[in-house]
Amino acid sequence: MLKLTRKVEYSLIALRHMQGKSIDSVSSTKEIATRYNIPLEILAKTLQHMAKENIIEAINGPRGGYRIKAKLKNINLAEFFEKVEGPLGLSDCFYDANCMQIEYCNIRTPIQRINANMINMFRSMSVQDITN
């Protein structure tokens, strides 16, 4: 319960790795996968996804790889999690009503309050706060 996914963790590991290098040097999937003991194919998917979201930039071909494209200071954690994993919410019912309890549920509103607190908390931290 309340866990981050590997995809998010791998994304942050990769970003932190890239941030430790000079601005125009690139990092290949293999380099990062080896360095942090991450399954290559998974990391590949993860990096491709971040590239589509314009967080990082892909350089094709030999000597290619990825480098940071966005200003990490300007991406808060709530945005980042949503870019990487989709909608945030303690329960699915906030964005998808397919729940047996929905009609009778007596805790939907209260849980929305916790949810709002959680999202605010994530909004108050930038990706850079994590990768620095």
Partner DNA sequence: TTATATCCGATATAAATTGTCGGATATATT
Partner DNA sequence: AATATATCCGACAATTTATATCGGATATAA
Residue 66 interface partner, choices its own copies, DNA, none, CB cut-off 5-8 Å depending on type:
DNA
Contact flag: residue 28 with DNA (CB under 7 A): yes
Site for its own copies in 28-47 (CB under 8 A): 35-38
- H-helix or E-strand containing 91? none
Dmax over CA atoms of the chain, in Å, equals 58
Q: Which is nearer to DNA, 44 or 70 (CB)?
A: 44
Confirm if 58 and 18 have CB atoms less than 8 A apart: no
Site string for DNA, 53-72 (x = CB under 7 A): -----xxxxxxxxx------
Q: How far apart are CA 7 and CA 50, in angstroms?
A: 10
Beta partners for residue 65, in sequence order: 59
Q: How many residues does this entry show for the chain? A: 132
Task: Tell me: does residue 53 bind its own copies (CB under 8 A).
Answer: no
Q: Give residues in contact with DNA (CB under 7 A).
A: 1, 3, 5-7, 28-30, 39-42, 44-45, 47-48, 51-52, 58-66, 92, 100
